[in-house]
Every structure is written in C-alpha cells, then in structure tokens.
C-alpha cells in the first residue's frame, strides 16, 4: 500500500493550489450547499406530511427513489441540459440529499407518542406551540438520523464534482486515474472516508447538544 502521496508534506501546504486542505475545503463547500438547499426543500414538506398525514405516499416514494437514483447519471443529464459549472453538481447532490431528510422528518412526526401531543393540546397550547414545543423536539432524534445519513451520502458522492471540471476531493481520484498515480487515488479515497467519519461525529455532537436528554435513547 503506497501512501507516499498522502504523507508528502508538500500536498498539505495551504498555499499550494490543489493541495489536500484546499480540496477538502471546496469539497465541504459542495456538501454544505447541498445539505442546506436539500434541508430547506425537504424539511417543510416532511414536517407538513408528518403533521397532517396528507400525502404520505410522497415521503415513502421519495425514499425509494433516493435509493435507486444514479447520481452520476443525473449529473451527466444536468450537464447536458445546463452545461458545465456548479449548478448541475448542486442539483445532483441536492436530489441525493432530499429523500433521507424528507422521509426522516416524516417518520419522526408520525411516530410521536400522541398521548403527549394530546396532553399538550389539553393544556390549551395553540397548534403552533404544539408543533414547535412538543412535536418537533420529540421528532428531532429521528430527523437528525436522516440528516446524518444524507450528510454521509453527499460527502462520499460529492467526488463527482471533479468529473465535470470542478474541485473537491474527487480531483485526487480523477487526476490520479488519468496519470495512473494510484498513490494519489488511494490518498483521495482515504481522505474522503476520514472526512465522512469526522462529519458524522460533528453532527453527532450537534445532536447530543440539541436533543433533550430524555429523548436521546430514540436516536
């Protein structure tokens, strides 16, 4: 196993274009944008469906579609329609992000202990207060599990950005294969895997901070 590229200090120099830290930052940029856009789209829809029970087939079918949709194929389609650039990559990654967030927010709302919800209503809480102070906090463990799942998927899949000329850790894979530099390819695979673990650990810490101690066993 040749790890010379990974442990070469020159490849970790922040001042060098194409260094590993620079590629990590651009990779995380794609991930953060896709997660933000996906959450803005999927969370309200999932919460509404879970809260009202209307349109549950959307959440179920979205989960199935997310598991079967080829991200690279979708990216190539977007490039064909929109040309090269960041937009096709963001669309492809956002489509990957939406299903786990939508289905987990739906599942979190539908699997609540409705005795607690009924008790809150019986205490005279308004519907908005019931949603924000009772239902959402109780649904957070399941919702966060979906968000973490989406983050892991998009960290691994954001490497496709390099296939259309953008940056990110996919550059190590694409460029390494182009010149038969398998030490570079291995470095890219290792850094992506480690980054995915670190992102998940970071989100786990956020989950511990925002989820009520009495609900942590539900995560």
Three-state SS letters, 147-187? HHHHHHHHHHHHHHHHHHCCCCCHHHHHHHHHCCCHHHHHH
Say which residues have a Cβ less than 8 Å from residue 92's Cβ, sequence separation at least 6: 71, 72, 74, 75, 78, 160
**b/e per residue 36-48 (b: at least 16 CB within 10 A):** ebbbebbbebbbb
Lowest mean pLDDT among 8-17, 72-81, 123-132: 123-132
pLDDT band at 137 (very low <50, low <70, confident <90, very high): confident
d(Cα 146, Cα 98) in Å, to the nearest integer? 10
Q: Is the pLDDT of residue 22 over 90?
A: yes
- Match 């194929």 to its residue by tokens: 73
What's the confidence (pLDDT) of residue 169? 93
Q: Model confidence over 40-95: pLDDT tens digits?
A: 999 988 888 887 777 677 766 766 666 667 777 778 888 888 878 889 999 989 98
Please report which confidence band the pLDDT of residue 20 belongs to, taking 50, 70 and 90 as the band edges.
very high
Interatomic CA distance for residues 99 and 22, integer angstroms: 30
- Tokens 């202990």 identify what position? 113
pLDDT (mean) for 149-171: 90
Domains in the chain: boundaries: 20-211
- Of residues 85 and 192, more confidence is placed in 192
The residue-averaged pLDDT of 93-116 equals 85
- Using a 10 angstrom Cβ sphere, with 0-12 exposed, 13-18 middle and 19 or more buried, the burial of residue 209 is exposed
pLDDT of res. 38: 93
* pLDDT value, residue 114: 73
What the block records as the tokens of 12 is: 């970790």
Would you tell me which CATH number, out of the four given (2.60.200.30, 1.20.210.10, 1.10.3720.10, 3.30.565.10), belongs to the domain 20-211? Answer: 1.10.3720.10
The answer to whether residue 215 scores a pLDDT higher than 60 is no
- pLDDT of residue 133 exceeding 80: no
3-state secondary structure at position 113: coil
Cβ pair 23, 173 in contact under 8 A: no
Question: Rounded distance, CA 130 to CA 120, Å?
Answer: 6
What average pLDDT does range 199-219 have in this prediction? 76
Q: What is the pLDDT of residue 218?
A: 47
When pLDDT is averaged across residues 176-197 and rounded to a whole number, the result is: 93
Cβ–Cβ under 8 Å, residues 135 and 51: yes
H-helix or E-strand spanning residue 111: none
> What count of residues does the chain have?
219
The predicted structure's pLDDT at residue 93: 92
Mean pLDDT of 192-196: 95
Mean pLDDT of 183-198: 95
How far is residue 150 CA from its own chain's centroid?
Answer: 3
Taking residue 14's Cβ as centre, other Cβ atoms within 10 Å add up to: 9
| 70: Cα separation from own chain's centroid | 16
pLDDT tier, 164 (very low <50, low <70, confident <90, very high otherwise): confident
Q: pLDDT value at position 149? A: 92
């Amino acid at each position: 196993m040749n790890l010379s590229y990974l442990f070469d200090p020159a490849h970790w120099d922040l001042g060098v274009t194409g260094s590993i830290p620079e590629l990590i930052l651009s990779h995380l940029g794609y991930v953060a944008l896709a997660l933000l856009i996906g959450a803005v789209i999927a969370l309200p829809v999932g919460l509404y469906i879970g809260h009202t029970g209307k349109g549950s087939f959307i959440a179920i079918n979205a989960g199935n579609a997310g598991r079967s949709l080829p991200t690279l194929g979708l990216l190539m389609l977007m490039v064909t329609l929109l040309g090269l650039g960041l937009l096709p990559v963001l669309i492809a990654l956002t489509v990957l992000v939406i299903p786990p967030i939508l289905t987990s927010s739906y599942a979190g709302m539908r699997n609540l202990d409705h005795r607690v919800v009924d008790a809150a209503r019986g205490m005279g809480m308004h519907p908005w207060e019931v949603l924000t102070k009772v239902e959402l906090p109780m649904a957070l463990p399941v919702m966060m599990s979906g968000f973490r799942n989406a983050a892991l998927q998009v960290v691994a899949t954001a490497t496709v950005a390099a296939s259309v000329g953008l940056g990110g850790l996919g550059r190590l894979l694409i460029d390494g294969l182009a010149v038969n530099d398998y030490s570079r390819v291995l470095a890219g695979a290792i850094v992506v895997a480690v980054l995915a673990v670190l992102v998940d650990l970071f989100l786990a810490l956020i989950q511990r901070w925002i989820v009520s101690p009495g609900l942590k066993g539900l995560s």
